[in-house]
Amino acid sequence: MSGATRVLVLNAGSSSVKYQLIDMLDGSRLASGLAERIGEGNGRLVHTPLSGVRRESLQAFPDHDAALKAVAEELAADGVGLDSPELAAIGHRVVHGGKRFTAPTLITDEVLAEIRRLIPVAPLHNPANITGIEVARSLRPDLPQVAVFDTAFHATMPEYAARYAIDKAVADEHRVRRYGFHGTSHQYVSRAAAHLLGKDPAEVNVIVLHLGNGGSASAVAGGVCVDTSMGLTPLEGLVMGTRSGDVDPGVVFHLHRVGGLTIDEIDELLNRRSGLLGLCGDNDMREIMRRASEGDADAKLAFDTYIHRLRKYIGGYYAVLGRVDAIAFTAGVGENAAPVREAATAGLEELGIAVDPELNSVRSGEARVISPQYSRVAVAVVPTDEELEIAQQTFALVHTA
Ligand code: AMP
């Protein structure tokens, strides 16, 4: 085994690249940052080295190539450049792995071609992920590069949970099925929740509620995902910041035939102008809670609709799992919004679910239990760490390859 212990995690979006350089010896962040507004002429790179003193530079990034080269320069300036012998691998977040990729995968030309073949089912995400991979490979062609898929953790869903009840041949022809997303987070958080309870992940059943600007729920039985709320795309399921979550598919036909909206307009409506934003004009839960506390009716409706959908998934996944040991809240809203956790679990004592108001109000960056001792189901707040999970999976693969 070589002495290289560092993994660079890259998350390339359509106009941004997020990165973290992690030392796998102790999980420490040697550097992290964000290059944004790629292709927009007014790019910005914010880089935080281990010393913690943030550096910000404004420079145009015509493309991902330019942005990644700027990131590489920042890392080199800290003495942790891409040519450093300590760098073991680069781990890439890839949104859609389809049915083929159910585990982290060493990137080859053939793998890249397959990720490209999945663009029709992930047109908003996979192209940027591919660009990130291509640029990183051109910078370090000799270094192992690993794709960690957002869909992979959900690949264990039984067929009856992954299927939509539509014509099987049509579904298969167009690869229409439920894939699920945020898998890296669900995997990390379900495992961390088990550890918080002092148990082996294989022994516990967990409902994970990943509530960020995007949001998804999952039912994890003994460390294995058995259902999740997102589907073919990240549009299905919970009410999100700007996405509707579940709607009757008939809404689409109606808006098209009666409302005269084009398919692209409906796509944009449901993905970008719906959810909390569509209901009340704000998608930041802080602002919504503030407005609701001042009596704003739209904000209260948005909050109540969000909570109602969340409770339906908690109840649904309780039935799917049969026995629930823990409910874990994570991501921006889940980790920070005590009123959301309280409302989502209120009145569920008959199901063994309760939240201690005092524990729930504690603000902390640590994983913590917020249910009282007597609660049969442990309710927990578990900060997610997708980058660390990607780095761990990447490192493990490189060292077993
Ligand atoms: P994420 O996508 O995980 O980064 O989550 C982002 C979302 O978390 C924001 O849009 C806010 O709605 C929410 N959020 C962040 N901080 C807080 C907070 N202190 N209280 C309530 N919601 C928060």
Task: Give DSSP secondary structure letters for 150-193.
Answer: TTGGGGGS-HHHH--SS-HHHHHHTT-S---S-HHHHHHHHHHH
**Averaged over 248-253, what is the pLDDT?**
98
How large is the average pLDDT for residues 309-325? Answer: 98
C-alpha neighbours within 13 Å on the C-beta side of residue 117:
13
Q: Is 223 left (phi over 0), alpha (psi -120 to 50) or beta?
A: left
pLDDT digits (tens, 9 = 90+) for 260-304: 999 999 999 999 999 999 999 999 999 999 999 999 999 999 999
Residues 185 and 385: their CA atoms lie apart, in Å, by 7
Closest CA to 101 of 169, 180, 164: 180
Looking at the fold, whether 118 and 212 belong to one and the same domain comes out as no
The pLDDT tens digits for 123-176 are 888 999 999 999 999 999 999 999 999 999 999 999 999 999 999 999 999 999
Question: What does the angle CA 202 – CA 332 – CA 153 come to, to the nearest 5 degrees?
Answer: 30
**Ligand 1 atom closest to the CA of 384, numbered from 1:** 3
Query: What pLDDT does residue 121 have?
Result: 84
Binding site per annotation, positions for substrate: 93
Tell whether 263 is covered by a domain: yes
- Separation in Å, CA 369 to CA 271, 338, 372: 33, 13, 8
Q: How confident is the model at residue 2 (pLDDT cuts 50, 70, 90)?
A: low
Q: How far is CA 192 from CA 37, 208, 277, in A?
A: 34, 11, 31
Could you say which DSSP state residue 237 is in? S
Residue 168 within a domain: no
Regarding whether 220 and 368 lie in a shared domain, the answer is yes
**Coil, helix or strand for 36?**
strand
Percentage of the chain exceeding pLDDT 70: 99
Are both 34 and 92 inside the same structural domain?
yes
**3-class SS of residue 243:** coil
Last residue of a domain, one of 149, 183, 212: 149
156 inside domain: no
Is 228 within a domain?
Answer: yes
Tokens 């010393």 belong to: 51
Q: How far is CA 310 from the centre of its chain?
A: 17
Domain assignment present for residue 316? The answer is yes
- Whether 56 has a pLDDT exceeding 90, the answer reads yes
What pLDDT is recorded for position 112? 97
CATH of the domain at 239: 3.30.420.40
Please report, in range form, the residues annotated as the binding site for ATP: 18, 210-214, 284-286, 332-336
Question: How many angstroms is it from 361 CA to the middle of ligand 1?
Answer: 16
In a shared domain, residues 130 and 254? no
Mean pLDDT in residue range 13-28? 93
Task: Classify 91 as helix, strand or coil.
Answer: strand
Q: Are residues 233 and 335 in the same domain?
A: yes
Cα 107 to Cα 136, 139, 145, distances in angstroms: 11, 14, 6
- Residue pair 390/148 in contact by the 8 Å Cβ criterion: yes
Q: Give percent of the chain with pLDDT exceeding 90.
A: 93
Nearest CA to ligand 1 atom 15: 332
Vertex 160, ends 96 and 232: CA angle to 5°?
25
Number of structural domains found in the chain: 2
How far away, in angstroms, is 284 Cα from ligand 1 center?
6
Catalytic residue among 26, 109, 142, 150: 150
Question: What is the total residue count of the chain?
Answer: 401
Instruction: Residue 48: count other Cβ atoms within 10 Å of its Cβ.
Output: 17
Residues 99, 207 share a domain: no
Cβ atoms of 225 and 218 closer than 8 Å: yes
Ligand 1 pocket mutation, candidates 230, 285, 384, 386, criterion most atoms within 8 A of CB: 285
Q: Residues near 391 by Cβ (< 8 Å), separated by ≥ 6?
A: 7, 9, 20, 22, 24, 91
Beta-strand pair 326-330/205-211 = parallel
Pocket of ligand 1 from Cβ distances under 6 Å: 212-213, 241, 283-286, 331-333, 336-337
Q: How confident is the model at residue 1 (pLDDT cuts 50, 70, 90)?
A: very low
Residue 158 lies in a domain: no
Residues 204 and 114 in one domain: no
> Residue 400: inside a domain, yes or no?
no
Instruction: Return mean pLDDT, the chain.
Output: 95
Domain with 49, as residue range(s), is 6-149
Looking from the CA of residue 241, the nearest atom of ligand 1 is 10
User: Are 242 and 381 found together in one domain?
Assistant: yes
Confidence check: pLDDT of 401 > 80: no
CA 362 to centroid of ligand 1, rounded, Å: 16
DSSP secondary structure string for all residues of 290-330? HHHHTT-HHHHHHHHHHHHHHHHHHHHHHHHHSS--EEEEE
Point out the ligand 1 atom lying closest to the alpha carbon of residue 288. Answer: 12
Query: In which band, very low, low, confident or very high, does the pLDDT at 13 lie, cut at 50, 70 and 90?
Result: confident
- Same domain as 135, residue 227: no
Bind-site residues? 11, 18, 93, 210-214, 284-286, 332-336, 386
Ligand 1 midpoint to CA 74 (Å): 28
* Separation of CA 149 and ligand 1 centre (Å): 23
397 found inside a domain:
no
C-alpha to C-alpha distance for 323 and 325, rounded to whole angstroms = 7
Q: Are residues 363 and 287 located together in one domain of the fold?
A: yes
238, 369: one domain: yes
Task: Report DSSP letters for 189-229, one per residue.
Answer: HHHHHHHHTT--GGG-EEEEEEESSSEEEEEEETTEEEEES
150 catalytic? Reply is yes
216 near 228, Cβ under 8 Å? yes
Q: Last residue of a domain, which of 90, 125, 149?
A: 149
**Statement to judge: residues 204 and 141 lie in one domain:** no
More confident residue, 126 or 186: 186
Please count the CA atoms within 13 angstroms of the CA of 218 that sit on its side-chain side.
34
Last residue of a domain, one of 90, 124, 149: 149
End-to-end Cα distance, the chain: 11
